[in-house]
Amino acid sequence: MSKFDYLIVGAGLYGATFAHLAYKQGKKCLVIDRRSHLGGNIYCESIEGINVHKYGAHIFHTSNKQVWNFVNSIVEFNRYTNSPVANYQGKLYNLPFSMNTFYQVWGVTTPAAAIAKLEEQKAEAVAKMKADGATEPRNLEEQAQLLIGKDIYEILIKGYTEKQWGRKCTELPAFIIKRLPVRLIFDNNYFNDKYQGIPVGGYNKLIDGLLEGVETKVGVDFFDNRDYWESIADKILFTGKIDEFYDYKFGMLEYRTVSFKQEIHDCPNYQGNAVVNYTEREVPYTRVIEHKHFEMFGTAVNECPITVISKEYSTEWEPGMESYYPVNDERNNALAEQYRTLAIQEKNVIFGGRLAEYRYYDMHIIIEKLLTNRFE
């Protein structure tokens, strides 16, 4: 007889939320993770009293009130508002593209003047394409200039994107940038969602709350003793890499990955903002994260005499590295579909999350999907 109703492979947000909801419905669950900690990529490491987002900045945002109420029922969220800025050759620009950005780039002060400048630059991009004999954008550079014009593309998109993807924008497909947000208001709030914030006390509080009452084991690799783990539960929720589950039967899926260089500075405030993007190609990192700003506001920032920053580097993924972002090109999409076809035939295995579905998910989408699960 099986000991558990569910074995949950992976203690990230998907696995922890699944375990929480199943446990609330009387299911006995065991959560295992190959890492030495719970929480997956939202895990926070406490350094000098600051919750450091070990695997990159995570900001929770949603317009779904049910989702917002659910996460706040686990832990209270603060009022953090994501308002990144971009540094290009020492000058700062507000993100997303808003009236603040247009004023910083062109000196325009009204929406009408901003629209006129945007339309002028878009027309130049169209004319250049026609002169080259093209009727549709042939690469990311042309697509971006059709959407936002040459000036903003050169300052805020080109270098940053080339660092993210490790290749020139003229070598990237146009579909990567399908649209770019343009706001004709002086508003630096990055998200349009109604609710956003960070768990008070960090994301570990959210994970601990979700897994309260659930048995967990860390430092355990499902694949080291697969037969045993498959024997102890009626069903498995698998949140790891789908190609690994099938022993790379059709080939290995690819990812983009990021790495972080962490620094502790003997000052209360390093850059005055949680996230600063570095958009010129010559700066090797894509952004600098100053973690205290996610949870400390106003005078509280200066009350903590030190600060922790992380410089984020985008690199080509190789086997053995952390797998962050699925590569949505023709080869990988076709390969992922082959694995998904196998997955839907499984009777006792559920595949869920970014790695198991080979799809990138914002956190609120994961919660939203799982709140409709019936746990049969």
Query: Is 166 within 8 Å of 316 (Cβ atoms)?
Result: yes
Residue 257 · residue 321 · CB < 8 Å:
yes
Instruction: Kindly report whether the peptide bond that precedes residue 96 is cis, defined as omega within 30 degrees of 0.
Output: yes
The residue type found at 278 is Y
Q: Which of 268, 226, 235 is nearest to 34 (CA)?
A: 226
**Parallel, antiparallel, or unpaired: how do β-strands 60-62 and 195-197 relate?**
antiparallel
Residue 251 CB neighbour total at 10 angstroms: 13
Q: Which of 287, 339, 354, 357 is catalytic?
A: 287
The string over 7-26, giving b where at least 16 C-beta atoms fall within 10 Å of a residue's C-beta and e elsewhere, is bbbbbbbbbbbbbbbbbeee
- Angle between helices 140-148 and 111-131 in degrees, nearest 10: 150
Phi, psi of 236 (to 5 degrees): -120, 135
287 annotated active-site: yes
Smallest CA-to-CA distance from 352 within 236, 237, 210, 223 is with 237
- Strand extents, DSSP E, the chain: 4-9, 29-33, 44-47, 50-53, 60-62, 85-88, 91-94, 195-197, 215-218, 233-238, 255-265, 275-278, 287-290, 307-316, 325-326, 349-351
Q: Which listed residue (93, 183, 255, 354) is catalytic?
A: 183
Q: Among residues 44, 50, 20, 56, which one has the least CA distance to residue 354?
A: 56
Q: Check if 34 is active-site.
A: no
Q: Strands of 91-94's sheet, edge to edge?
A: 91-94, 85-88, 275-278, 287-290, 307-316, 255-265, 325-326
Active-site residue, 79 included: no
CA dihedral over 323, 329, 330, 333, signed as positive or negative: positive
Q: Which of 35, 138, 256, 340 is catalytic?
A: 256
In angstroms, the CA 269 to CA 289 distance is 12
Residue 312: active-site member: yes
Number of neighbouring beta carbons within 10 Å of residue 273: 16
- Annotated catalytic, 43? no
Residue 183 designated active-site: yes
376 catalytic residue (yes or no) = no
Catalytic residue among 136, 179, 227, 330: 179
Judging by DSSP bridges, how do beta strands 275-278 and 287-290 pair with one another? Answer: antiparallel
Catalytic member of 312, 339, 354, 357: 312
Which residue of the set 208, 215, 362, 368 is catalytic? Answer: 362
Residue positions annotated with a catalytic role: 179, 183, 256, 287, 312, 360, 362
